[in-house]
Amino acid sequence: MISDLPKYTNAVSPGLRFVAPGNRPVSLSEYPAVSDPFVDACMKHDRALRGRVKLLGQLLGEVISSQAGDDVLRTVERLRKGFIQLRDHPDPVRLERLKKVIGKLSPDALRPVIRAFSIYFQLVNTAEESFKHRQRRRIAARGGVLWKGSFDACLRDLRGMGVAPDELQDLLEEIRYMPVFTAHPTESKRRSIMLQMRRIFESNDALDAPKIFVDHTEIYTRNLHTHIQTLWKTDEVRPSRPDVHHEIRMGMHHFKGALFDAIPVVYGRLERAIHRAYDDHPDFQGVDLPAMLRFGSWIGGDRDGNPNVTADITREAILTQHLTILRAYIGRVADLVGILTHSRDFCSPSPAFLGSLREDDAYRERFEQEWPARFPEEPYRRKLYIMGLRLRQAERRGLAWLDGRPWNPEIVGYRGEEEFLHDLVLIRDSMISHGDADAANAELLDLIRLTRTFGFYLARLDIRQESTVHSDAVADVLARLGIEQDYASLNEARRLELLGELIETPPVIDDRGALAAMTQEVLRVLDVVGEMQQAISPQVIGRYVISMAHRASDVLHVMFLASLTGLCGQQGKVFRCRLGVSPLFETIDDLARIEPVISELLDHAVYQRLLRAHGSIQEVMLGYSDSAKDGGIVASAWLLYRAQQRVITLGKQRGVHIRLFHGRGGTIGRGGGPTHDAIRAQPAGTLLGQIKFTEQGEVLSYKYSNRETAIYELTMG
């Protein structure tokens, strides 16, 4: 797992224990003293972690013995002990002997041995993850300064730097933290495996909870044994190759399993940290927390080199996300019906709320048979009950869209997140008006914060395609329309001039069927963007990412194609732009040339109009792994550092806000590492309060499989 501590869990107590070859056992006492209270706590309680690793190893040994046989366990132990000796005393002869042991094993005999080591290290990671949570809880219970990177430490630093409450509010308004989830071949873990590991994590955590019955330890130890045995019996390899539909469904796992519960906790912790740091400030009047967290996704939108990601797949991904978040809201609104049980005999709802409730009652009467009247004396429950009706109608509408079925336009439900959010805020304001602020700022506020974070779209889907696909499509369109027969021969200056003219006054394509198949597909993708923006939310699409962007015209190619589908260009008296484009610079040569390319783009008169119409934010994506493969880690790091400085300076010179999109991988060589340290390592002055980055492959399961870890990771951003 990604860790902000050295790996020391390989040095465990006797019993069934596995040690990675070549790793010397290291005690935390060998590391120099540091001031971070989290590291101090881990050093102090290291023995507890070692004990837990020992227990998990013993339980796994029992499972191996009972399920695979003592011969497998003896082989595992022989290899384990042999490699421990090699680690301490390298010996080529012994190494060859161990290799022969492995080489003599038949495939059937080798398989359980490999599974034993694989499962063990998953258990070790789980033990370490749970151990860290216990240390953080122990530190938090002391009431002092929390660990480096925590909200508490950051807010105390801001107070110490003299940041006033009004400046803090301005700062919070500017902050945007945007993880983007991507499908990636390095993540091969099945959802069933992740669910089993979650059960092991919960049982392991429960084992350390205060004992509330006599046989507490025995029960949870037995639970651990059962879950480990089930994990042993669960196939790690999928029975069939996953397709894009599977990736879309898998992409929902982390939201449903961890993030929906984590987000309200994150905002709550930030709010409490602000109060701890600023409550005694004479000018502090509280803060209004904006929606600083936003999630993005490439799953179902990234078609660069993947012909299976079609316009229909993109539509399916958006609608699947839409249905996932609607179902989350439906469940939470149903919970609130059982919580906000205020009687009208004991509260006086606001006039605005009562007016809205009368409209709701009239709406519900249209569906009397399906949704009979309830809660006549409890106004908030009645309101929430009818909100549930509207959400379910929105869900059915989304299912109809997904299945290609017609939907009765008279059954409105909620048309978008703003209507739903308006109702939630109306309830909260009304409750505060009659002295129930505490109840208003509990589960109801959590749902408001979820809605502000996820809307009706869950995660903003980025579209990604390679630049030559667009240039070929533009050449095809211009040739078919008789505008330019040899677009490929035009120099860059003429391309920019022609594209600017065409974007301002887009031509009309009477027959798309005459275009090449790929050109038609590109236009269908843009059609889906417009359709989903209208149907679900204007926020449903993040950016159109252009991989292998080499020149300014690569960006204008996409804008021209978007103008053909009504997403941008002159429309009547209004110049519109409903799509933002992010050029991706991912090779050493492209990073070296980023300054002239971005300069030419930002100086283009028509593109300036497009930017203003879309909010004056230009996003630029930087590729870490590809540049490292292209030129090596050192050259890549230096050029990425310089590219960020140059692009931000260009934006400031032209009054354009530049947001950098970091295409980080999981490993250090691909731009990975602890998020907090990665943010602090960015060139000074390049973040401007916003950061967007990819979360790829195994990083997703490491960070977001468990609610507790998701909370920690998001608070460390």
Catalytic residue list: 184, 629
Q: Give the side-chain half-sphere CA count within 13 A for 695.
A: 26
**Could you give the residue ranges of the DSSP H alpha helices within 68-106?**
70-88, 92-104
Distance (Å, whole) CA 522 – CA 662: 25
Q: Identify the residue whose tokens are 């609607």.
A: 326
Q: Is 681 exposed, middle or buried (0-12, 13-18, 19+ CB in 10 A)?
A: exposed
Question: Can you tell me whether residue 620 is helix, strand or coil?
Answer: strand
433: Cβ–Cβ under 8 A, 6 or more apart, which residues? 348, 349, 350
d(CA 638, CA 661): 17
Q: Is 670 exposed, middle or buried (0-12, 13-18, 19+ CB in 10 A)?
A: buried
Of 475, 493, 492, nearest to 484 by C-alpha is 475
| Nearest residue to 625 via CA among 248, 4, 182 | 182
CB neighbour list of residue 199: distance below 8 Å, 6 or more residues apart: 227, 230
If you search the block for the tokens 């059954």, which residue do you land on? 411
List the one residue out of 348, 324, 182, 193 whose CA is nearest residue 256: 324
Most distant CA pair in the chain, distance: 87
Q: DSSP per residue over 516-563, as a string?
A: -HHHHHHHHHHHHHHHHHHHT-TTSEEEEEEET--SHHHHHHHHHHHH
Alpha-carbon span 48 to 601, nearest angstrom:
58
Euclidean distance between CA atoms 319 and 456, whole angstroms: 10
DSSP letter (8 states) at residue 91: -
H or E element: which one contains 503? helix 492-504
d(CA 607, CA 617): 12
Helix (H) or strand (E) holding 360: helix 351-365
Q: Rounded distance, CA 460 to CA 225, Å? A: 41
Residue 65 belongs to what H/E stretch? Answer: helix 46-67
Two structure tokens written together for 458? 């869950």
Side chain identity at 262, as an amino acid letter? A
Residues 394, 385: Cα–Cα separation, whole Å: 15
Answer for the pair 384, 336: CB distance below 8 angstroms, yes or no: yes
**Radius of gyration (Cα) for the chain, nearest Å?**
28
Give the span between the Cα atoms of 329 and 322, in whole angstroms.
11
Query: Which amino acid type is present at position 576?
Result: R
Q: State the Cα–Cα distance between residues 554 and 313, nearest whole angstrom.
A: 24
